[in-house]
Amino acid sequence: MGKPTGFIEYLREIPADRAPLERIRDWNEFHLHMPEPALKTQGARCMDCGVPFCHTGTLISGMASGCPIHNLIPEWNDLVYRGLWKEALERLHKTNNFPEFTGRVCPAPCEGSCVLGINAPPVTIKNIEVAIIDHGWANNLVVAEPPEKRTGKKIAVVGSGPAGLCAAAQLNKAGHTVTVYERADRPGGLLMYGIPNPKLDKEQVVLRRIDLLKAEGVNFVCNTEVGKNLPAEKLLAESDAVILATGATKPRDLPIEGRHLKGVHFAMEFLTANTKSLLDRHRNGDFIDATGKDVVVIGGGDTGTDCVGTSMRHGCNSLVQLEILAKPPMDRAADNPWPEWPKTYKMDYGQEEAAAKFGGDPRVYFTTATRFEGDAKGQLKAVHVVSVEWKKNDKGQFGPVPVPGTEKVLPAQLVLLAMGFLGPEQPLLDSLNVERDPRSNVKADHGKYTTSIPKVFAAGDCRRGQSLVVWAFNEGRGAARECDRFLMGATDLP
């Protein structure tokens, strides 16, 4: 596992990102690469820890601890340290179908549970992961590997996001004929339209992998919404099995006064239209423009950060991000011990960019919006906000309570609602009459993925609710395994 004394000899280093004020002038990826000697040094920091919690992939206190797809992290850290890049890539692909995706967008729960992280900065696992796969692509080590024979079984995967792509890749590897249905004009789901290009390049990274899947025999059918322009009954009749991987795309709304005003949008409306316009090679006005506007982003998660970064690239006039929770501590709190995911303060790329241009972190904590104010033409012009404190109600439940005298009015011509997602959209599930859980997700046990409808499986956010890309990988691979077992009586899929 790397150099036995490496964790003592070497400090944690990560590659520099492009300067914030430079990168907001384009839509290119902002991460830079480290030279190979530096990567070897970082691989050497992986200690002989005995029990590598980095790839445990469990839930502790409701959060991921370790890698949910159980990447063989110590093994490929050691191989990188020794300069064996091809072997490192082989180890990485054993557990991860698309490490170029997780290496760019995963929040790295593996690093949160790194044993070295108990009392020192953890190993740079995520950076080494993306370096391995990018090295593989650059040196023609990633090639199409179609199955030697076909089983004659036809499988439909509904949704081409991370769970659907993993399920399709694994089932194709097993020799089944797989068709992936996507309602958008391009495959990729969340990876294509939910994550901005500066964080995950669509043509150089996402479509490159999809083209490889096509070369291996996976069929993609876009502009097709199952349950709408393709009847669910027809799909079931023509398939030996169906995997639902539609995601959890129903956004959480904020039904306060003025919600109807022009200029108040869900985050995904903003992000999707922006990426589509970018990929279509023209800015024809068919997107929500933040140029010259005072922007308020409501929500402090990854989607909110993406709204901040996209608004900065449009050239917004000002930006405020409202967060109803407290500002996280700089270091782990006593009730957030290792190996839990560390809930500590950090500046993500969007906040770094806003701080560089406007002079400070745009996030305002313990704050919520109470009213949207418009002009005579129905156009948003301001957001009324108030500070909150969290108290228990008469049922003993914690909730935000407004603090009198803290009301403020923020100028705003654009508000982006990035407060998370409530579950999958229901029309397709209604047409199938599939059983759902109390949170409106498809009811299917983790590890089995079987729904109430024979030969129909469910994986990813439509089954577990909004989660990480790496959990979608876990579920897509797991659903493929159980689907293969259902079709063949046994399975060799991991």
The string of pLDDT tens digits covering residues 99-145 is: 999 999 999 999 999 999 999 999 999 999 999 999 999 999 999 99
Q: Name which of 223, 224, 187 is nearest 206 in CA terms.
A: 187
Structure tokens at 100: 């170029």
Cα distance between residue 344 and residue 326, in whole Å: 11
Q: Concatenated DSSP letters for 119-132? A: TSPPP-HHHHHHHH
Using the 8-state DSSP alphabet, how is residue 379 labeled? B
Report pLDDT for 76.
Answer: 95
Cα distance between residue 408 and residue 410, in whole Å: 7
Look at residue 430 and give its three-state secondary structure: helix
Q: Is-contact 31 71, C-beta < 8 A? A: no
Which residues are registered as beta bridge partners of 423? Answer: 250
Q: What is the 3-state secondary structure (H, E, C) of 178-246?
A: EEEECCCCCCCCHHHHHCCCCCCCHHHHHHHHHHHHHHCCCEEECCCCECCCECHHHHHHHCCEEEECC
Residue 282 makes CB contacts below 8 A (sequence gap 6+) with: none
Phi/psi at 292 (5° precision) = 70, 10
Identity of the amino acid at 35: P
Phi/psi at 68 (5° precision) = -65, -20
Contacts 24+ apart (CB under 8 A), 237-241: 238/154, 238/156, 239/154, 239/155, 239/156, 239/455, 240/153, 240/154, 240/155, 240/176, 240/455, 240/487, 241/153, 241/155, 241/156, 241/455, 241/456, 241/457, 241/483, 241/486, 241/487
The string of pLDDT tens digits covering residues 3-30 is: 889 999 999 999 999 999 999 999 999 9
| Residue-level pLDDT, tens digit, the chain, 494 residues | 678 899 999 999 999 999 999 999 999 999 999 999 999 999 999 998 989 999 999 999 888 899 999 999 999 999 999 999 999 999 999 999 999 999 999 999 999 999 999 999 999 999 999 999 999 999 999 999 999 999 999 999 999 999 999 999 999 999 999 999 999 999 999 999 999 999 999 999 999 999 999 999 999 999 999 999 999 999 999 999 999 999 999 999 999 999 999 999 999 999 999 999 999 987 656 899 999 999 999 999 999 999 999 999 999 999 999 999 999 999 999 999 999 999 999 999 999 999 999 999 999 999 999 999 999 999 999 999 999 999 998 888 889 999 999 999 999 999 999 999 999 999 999 999 999 999 999 999 999 999 999 999 999 999 999 999 999 999 999 999 999 999 999 999 99
Structure tokens at 146: 């179609």
Determine if the pTM surpasses 0.85: yes
Q: Name which of 218, 157, 212 is nearest 189 in CA terms.
A: 157
Structural domains present in the chain: 6-138 (1.10.1060.10), 154-249+422-488 (3.50.50.60), 253-419 (3.50.50.60)
Which residues are registered as beta bridge partners of 384? Answer: 371, 409
Q: In the sheet that 318-322 helps form, which strands lie side by side, from edge to edge?
A: 264-266, 414-417, 294-298, 318-322, 363-364
**Residue for token digits 């063949």?**
488
Cα distance between residue 398 and residue 442, in whole Å: 28
Average pLDDT, the chain: 96
Structure tokens at 136: 């593989």
The string of pLDDT tens digits covering residues 225-274 is: 999 999 999 999 999 999 999 999 999 999 999 999 999 999 999 999 99
DSSP H helical ranges for 292-413: 302-314, 349-358
**Residue for token digits 């011990």?**
337
Report pLDDT for 1.
Answer: 65
